Chains A and B, each alone.
Chain A
């Protein structure tokens, strides 16, 4: 877990356009925002409002069509020119952690193996010393030898959170992390995210339909038709 976040995200007039035949659909349309270091921001809006597209662009999983995206001092996208896929991968593994509605755990790996899977490809210095603490903080320390199939939905999402945090990211992007969970498990995940932000200074961007969950963030951005309706 990261005590000192290094990066903020700044988006200026971001657009992400998809083509469907002759039709052009702007999933994100002229969005400008700033996500401060150590902040907890939620993005809400109805289905199809562009929440997921926006968070994917902010998290360097996708390139915008136009606008400017800056990560700390580094310009990721400007004048319709983005970074190559390999450079985006380097940024992703250094800066971001991701959690999604589906947990995407590997069923043949144990909890611990799923959590430390990122180390197979990249390991930040000192990251492995914190694994035990991270597992304990997420209440997984007694379940490390279990396979995903032996866990509840809430536990699986906590494993996904631990996997996202194991390499000490600066920013955690959570796209509908409670979409597959009941309300009790949703609250549990919400509290976990809040604690991570408050205790470790982790920057969190949360996309959700759940207004109670969104209310846990210190700032909420509302999207409609790809545009910011309220911030």
Chain B
């Protein structure tokens, strides 16, 4: 003869009010969804940002003295109000023992009247044809490749600028204001970084075309075992330069993002609390409706601890089901969340913004189970301390 387990009894009790149980489960599912998406975003954003920074190919950037935010903007978005530094600085930096490699860069921005309906800025980045491709080896090409020579009249277009200008490999491009033609030799894949909107030229070509002999920035790849802090202090001793380390940039961006994250976390906490109240309400109503049944269970030998366990299990079943549905929804809709969040953020890294893994799913299920355990205490205690006679009599008198 089979025996009903307490779990089976709890499960079948929940089936009695299917709609109510389902709505409670959905409430928990929503809270779990928000939790998973939020923590998934937190992980995904940071991982993608790190990846983007790694893809930059260098860990430090030396720029002429100016505002650090401007420097960060220069690196990530391109910019105006450029400041210059002497070309010799690149050699001085390269001589430091911590340095694995340097790549000098010269950015120039001109007004292109043919860009868009009212014209716009065109950004040109002069790069060294040898050191830059080596440092940025992760840059993917959609077509073509890097320039052939150090002073070649050739250009590599970022993905967006190639789309906007409708250029393909082999096309000619006239640099606005300078009336100099360069040949498009490569088009990059979309990277989601400032590279998408940049036209790369050999640095000597940019210097020649724009008549500038100086540099706007120097990318530095540091040796793996180098002490970054000591090296950074050393660089500050160079005249009229400032150092932007990518960890600094990352911190700046993460600080901006964390403000939004705190707000979303507050909403998530509220959602969890509302779900918890919903669970307490549902289970308490269920307990009050089943007073007679609980009385009968006690008259047939159920101890207070048995009744407590039964009601507690019902709560946990509700929460675990909600948690599973919520995490499932979060996984299924991660892509949509990614697109929506990307629209809201001022800067989004190129990789996936929402990263959900097994650890996160387990953590969320742990959280909702803990909510279930906490939410179930009061209704379970209330049920456990019911006296059988009171509950049976209340029904007989009603």
Interface size in chain A (residues, C-beta < 8 A): 37
Whether B3 and A89, one on each chain, are in contact in the complex, defined by CB atoms closer than 8 angstroms, is: no
Contacts of B2 in A (CB 8 A): 116
Interface size class of B (residues with CB under 8 A): 20 to 34
Quick one: CB contact mask for B146-189 with A, threshold 8 Å, 1 for yes? 00000000000000000000000000000000000000000000
Quick one: CB contact mask for A115-131 with B, threshold 8 Å, 1 for yes? 01111111100001101
Contacts of A109 in B (CB 8 A): 4, 9, 12
Mark the stretch among A75-83, A99-107, A217-225 that contacts chain B: A99-107
Q: A89-B298, A118-B300 are in contact. Are A61 and B388 (CB under 8 A)?
A: yes
Q: A139 CA to B6 CA in the complex, in Å?
A: 28
**Which residue of A has the minimal Cβ distance to B387?**
A85
Q: Confirm or deny: A192 has a beta carbon within 8 angstroms of a beta carbon on chain B.
A: no
Neighbour of B299 across the interface among A86, A98, A107, A108, CB < 8 A = A98
Whether A61 and B299, one on each chain, are in contact in the complex, defined by CB atoms closer than 8 angstroms, is: yes
CB-contacts of A60-115 with B (<8 A): 61-62, 85-86, 89, 92-94, 96-98, 100-102, 104, 106-109, 113
Contacts of B340 in A (CB 8 A): none
Neighbour of B3 across the interface among A104, A119, A163, A167, CB < 8 A = A119
Whether A92 and B301, one on each chain, are in contact in the complex, defined by CB atoms closer than 8 angstroms, is: yes
Q: A89-B298, A93-B300 are in contact. Are A120 and B1 (CB under 8 A)?
A: no
Q: A108 CA to B14 CA in the complex, in Å?
A: 9
Q: Confirm or deny: B395 has a beta carbon within 8 angstroms of a beta carbon on chain A.
A: yes
Contacts of B212 in A (CB 8 A): none
Nearest-Cβ distance from residue B286 to partner chain A, whole angstroms: 12
Contacts of B300 in A (CB 8 A): 92-93, 97-98, 117-118, 121-122, 163-164, 167
Whether B297 and A108, one on each chain, are in contact in the complex, defined by CB atoms closer than 8 angstroms, is: no
Mark the stretch among B216-224, B302-310, B321-329 that contacts chain A: B302-310
**Which residue of A has the minimal Cβ distance to B11?**
A108
Contacts of A92 in B (CB 8 A): 298-301, 388
Contacts of B302 in A (CB 8 A): 89, 120-122
Q: Confirm or deny: A194 has a beta carbon within 8 angstroms of a beta carbon on chain B.
A: no
Whether B389 and A61, one on each chain, are in contact in the complex, defined by CB atoms closer than 8 angstroms, is: yes
Whether A104 and B301, one on each chain, are in contact in the complex, defined by CB atoms closer than 8 angstroms, is: no
Q: Confirm or deny: B292 has a beta carbon within 8 angstroms of a beta carbon on chain A.
A: yes
Q: Confirm or deny: A52 has a beta carbon within 8 angstroms of a beta carbon on chain B.
A: yes
Whether B297 and A85, one on each chain, are in contact in the complex, defined by CB atoms closer than 8 angstroms, is: no
Whether B299 and A62, one on each chain, are in contact in the complex, defined by CB atoms closer than 8 angstroms, is: no
Contacts of A121 in B (CB 8 A): 297, 300-303, 306
Quick one: CB contact mask for B329-344 with A, threshold 8 Å, 1 for yes? 0000000000000000
Q: A109-B12, A131-B1 are in contact. Are A93 and B293 (CB under 8 A)?
A: no
Q: A61 CA to B396 CA in the complex, in Å?
A: 14
**Which residue of A has the minimal Cβ distance to B386?**
A85
Whether B4 and A119, one on each chain, are in contact in the complex, defined by CB atoms closer than 8 angstroms, is: yes
Q: A96 CA to B388 CA in the complex, in Å?
A: 14
Q: A93-B301, A104-B296 are in contact. Are A120 and B6 (CB under 8 A)?
A: yes
Whether B4 and A108, one on each chain, are in contact in the complex, defined by CB atoms closer than 8 angstroms, is: no
Q: A43 CA to B293 CA in the complex, in Å?
A: 25
Whether B292 and A116, one on each chain, are in contact in the complex, defined by CB atoms closer than 8 angstroms, is: no
Q: A129 CA to B292 CA in the complex, in Å?
A: 29
**Which residue of B has the minimal Cβ distance to A104?**
B296
Q: A123 CA to B2 CA in the complex, in Å?
A: 12
Q: A89-B298, A119-B4 are in contact. Are A108 and B16 (CB under 8 A)?
A: yes
CB-contacts of B202-226 with A (<8 A): none
Q: A104 CA to B153 CA in the complex, in Å?
A: 92
Nearest-Cβ distance from residue B3 to partner chain A, whole angstroms: 5
Nearest-Cβ distance from residue B283 to partner chain A, whole angstroms: 16
Nearest-Cβ distance from residue B307 to partner chain A, whole angstroms: 9
Q: Confirm or deny: A32 has a beta carbon within 8 angstroms of a beta carbon on chain B.
A: no
Quick one: CB contact mask for B349-393 with A, threshold 8 Å, 1 for yes? 000000000000000000000000000000000000001110010
Quick one: CB contact mask for B1-23 with A, threshold 8 Å, 1 for yes? 11111100100110110000000
Nearest-Cβ distance from residue A132 to partner chain B, whole angstroms: 8
Contacts of B295 in A (CB 8 A): 104
Q: A61-B299, A89-B298, A116-B4 are in contact. Are A108 and B13 (CB under 8 A)?
A: yes
Q: A196 CA to B3 CA in the complex, in Å?
A: 25
**Which residue of B has the minimal Cβ distance to A119?**
B3
Whether B293 and A104, one on each chain, are in contact in the complex, defined by CB atoms closer than 8 angstroms, is: yes
Contacts of A123 in B (CB 8 A): 3
Q: A61 CA to B298 CA in the complex, in Å?
A: 10
Q: Confirm or deny: A56 has a beta carbon within 8 angstroms of a beta carbon on chain B.
A: yes
Nearest-Cβ distance from residue B52 to partner chain A, whole angstroms: 55
8 tightest Cβ-Cβ pairs between the two chains A and B: A93-B301, A122-B301, A121-B302, A128-B1, A108-B12, A118-B300, A61-B389, A104-B296
**A–B pairs, 20, beta carbons within 8 Å:** A52-B396, A85-B304, A92-B388, A98-B296, A104-B295, A104-B296, A104-B392, A104-B395, A106-B13, A108-B15, A109-B12, A116-B1, A117-B297, A118-B301, A120-B6, A120-B9, A123-B3, A128-B1, A128-B3, A163-B300
Q: What would 5 more interface pairs be, CB under 8 Å, given A61-B388, A104-B292, A121-B301? A: A52-B396, A62-B389, A108-B12, A119-B4, A121-B303
Residues of A participating in the B interface, judged by any CB pair closer than 8 Å: 52, 56, 61-62, 85-86, 89, 92-94, 96-98, 100-102, 104, 106-109, 113, 116-123, 128-129, 131-132, 163-164, 167
